Amino acid sequence: MNFPFFIARRYLFSRSNRNAVNIITGISVVAISVVAMAMVIVLSAFNGMESLIYSFTDNFDPEVKIVSSESKFFTWNDQLSEQLNSQAGIEMFSKVLEEKALIKSGERNLIITLKGVDSNFVKVSDLGKHIASGNFSPTEDGTAKLFLGLGIANRLQIAAGDFMQYPEIWIPKVSKKTFLDARKAFHRQKFFLEGTFLTGHEYDSQYGICEISYVEKLMEREAAISAIEIKLKPDADENEVIEALALGLGTGYTVLNRIGQHPEIDSFIKLERLMINLIFILILLISIFNMIGSLTLLIIEKQANLNTLYAMGVNLDKVKAIFGYEALLINGYGAVIGLCMGLLVCYFQMNFNFISMPTNVGAIPYPVEIRWFDIVLIFSLVLSLGTITSYFAIRKIKLS
């Protein structure tokens, strides 16, 4: 007599032994559920932190940026102007000239990055939405106006609109002459502090912004720029615009999106995500080994029933399939319960903000972002690893 699969399984896990089976399998289900839940929570929190980091850079960085692939500076020319003005998808662009500089106010001084911008910068950048004090209009009107990150202004102890203090920018001269008086080796320019900005990122303690003509004079670089910052139209496809610009400008230029402007952050995030996944895979394997132990005990407990089934005509492959199905149920229930619990915790944090974290702009809710790719990945990992490792317990089954 050849028993059908589900009849054989029903006989093997009869009501008389169901309590013992529930205790053994329940421990394994709980262990897998806890790991799956932790994976959902940690990966969602990591996703939220990743988005938060990039949102801070979005306050300052342009959507698309063009830099030279051959040198730090390049010259603005008609070819660049024609290419940018004719490129579909570009709403506005701004010429930028950046250089390290010394800023002095009284006895205090700091090294900052001085960023010279043209009149289009206000429309290209979202920085105007993050003004801490004063106004933001870096245009040439006869007044040398400076905009500083709030961190720089605080360290220099100067305030926007203060007519009693004029911060001074120093940039070394290009001349190779040796000066006995060190002050003569620098171009200097006093600025009126028009305003300060606060992005919540390290830019607040690094950047000062002024009209580009002042930076050209300080650097002795007329018509030189270090980058072109671009704002795209709302309906523009970023990848298409970047590909078209790269093709039209040639190999002398590099076109970057926001992630490409911070390769170090992108590499760090990818590495950290990889390490988190590897650590959780190891923890998951430990919980699955617990399932293997439970499955082994279950096989030992059911040995007499297995011999009975074998005598009634059930072959070894069908018996192994029964326990393989049981392992699949343990992993499946554990994965589903863990995913549901993890999603529930994330839902409460996203909607009720139970946990907060401090930042430069004050305490904010700890960011959580659910990505369905992670959910599918976790579910697949639990099922695949559980199915593969359960083979080591099932292959030991012997019938007599």
Residue 140: per-residue pLDDT:
61
229: three-class secondary structure by DSSP = strand
Query: Residue 205 has which token pair?
Result: 């303690």
Going from N- to C-terminal start, the domains of the chain cover: 5-58+265-394, 64-257
Q: What's the distance, CA 281 to chain centroid?
A: 21
Q: What is the mean pLDDT, run by run of 10 residues, along the chain of 400 residues?
A: 61 56 76 93 93 82 94 91 92 95 93 94 88 78 87 94 91 73 83 91 92 93 92 94 93 92 88 91 86 79 76 78 83 93 95 83 84 93 87 76
CB contact at 8 A, 35 and 280: yes
Residue 5: per-residue pLDDT:
63
CA distance 114 to 208: 5
Residue 1: per-residue pLDDT:
47
CA distance 207 to 165: 19
